[in-house]
Amino acid sequence: MTRIYAERGTNNGRCYLSVKGHATGSPQVCAAISGLVYALAGYLMNATGVDVRGESLESADAVIDFFGDQMAVGAFLCAVIGLRQIAKEYGDFAEMEYVEGKT
């Protein structure tokens, strides 16, 4: 089971994403989640106006923590939407919690 936690601040551009575990039994779900996480990380590495506070992209354990401009937050939200869709459709393999406005 992959457990996904995402958090977005409402006023300061802070975004946080944590992905833990493998979608054991579904290589397709695991690959889809990994693709979205790596796409977001790649965008942030090449973007301006982003302050990455923490990033770890290990197998079955990824964390991305950053403060970003409107474009970076948009990229984060795009990844969150994709991850939420995966968790909704494939709940046996992935679960997600999303919190907005906490930080």
Rounded to the nearest angstrom, the gap between the alpha carbon of residue 93 and the centroid of all alpha carbons in its chain is 16
| For residue 103, pLDDT beyond 60 | no
Strands 2-8 and 94-100: parallel
Helix (H, G, I), strand (E, B) or coil at 13: coil
Query: Each residue of 73-89: b (16+ CB within 10 Å) or e?
Result: bebbeebbebbbebbee
What pTM does this model have?
0.92
Contacts of 67 (CB under 8 A, 6+ apart): 12, 13, 14, 15, 50, 51, 53
Q: Provide the token pair at 70.
A: 């409107």
pLDDT in tens, 21-51: 998 899 999 999 999 999 999 999 998 888 8
Q: Could you tell me the fold of the domain covering 2-100?
A: Alpha-Beta Plaits (3.30.70)
Expressed in percent and rounded to 5, the helix, strand and coil fractions of the chain are 40, 35, 25
| pLDDT classification of 3: cutoffs 50, 70, 90 | very high
Q: What average pLDDT does this structure show over 77-89? A: 98
